[in-house]
């Protein structure tokens, strides 16, 4: 936008929401930590356990978890936090990742 002249540098700086950017950046690190420490695997096992092995119910529980997270943090940060958990769920249940990781 700066290159095209749509806004000035000061307008661009004023429009940045630093707390949101920090939250998203921290979510990247937290998502990686969830994966490396094994917490994502434990959470995935719990979701699969609660679902009784039914993929549809596991998907609903995952959507519910993401919905609850979006009440606390941004949508992007919630997605970043849940991604390692979702990948673990799909791997453990031998499911296609498409319904779990699709763009809306």
Confidence (pTM): 0.69
For residue 92, is it left (φ>0), alpha (ψ between -120 and 50) or beta? alpha
Are 82 and 66 a contacting pair, CB within 8 Å? Answer: yes
| Residue pLDDT, tens place only, 34-91 | 888 888 889 889 999 999 989 999 989 998 988 998 898 888 888 888 888 888 899 8
Model confidence at 23: pLDDT above 80: no
Distance CA 50, CA 36 (A): 23
Q: What is the DSSP string of 88-101?
A: HHHHHTT--STTTS
Model confidence at 12: pLDDT above 80: no
Please report which confidence band the pLDDT of residue 104 belongs to, taking 50, 70 and 90 as the band edges: low
| Whole-number pLDDT of residue 14 | 79
């Amino acid at each position: 936008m700066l290159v095209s002249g749509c806004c000035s540098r000061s307008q661009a700086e004023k429009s940045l929401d630093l707390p949101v950017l920090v939250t998203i950046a921290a979510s990247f690190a937290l998502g990686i930590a969830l994966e490396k420490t094994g917490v994502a695997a434990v959470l995935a096992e719990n979701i699969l356990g609660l679902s009784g092995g039914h993929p549809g119910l596991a998907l609903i529980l995952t959507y519910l978890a993401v919905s609850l997270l979006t009440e606390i943090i941004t949508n992007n940060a919630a997605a970043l936090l849940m991604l390692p958990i979702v990948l673990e769920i799909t791997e453990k249940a031998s499911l296609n990742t498409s319904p779990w990781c699709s763009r809306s």
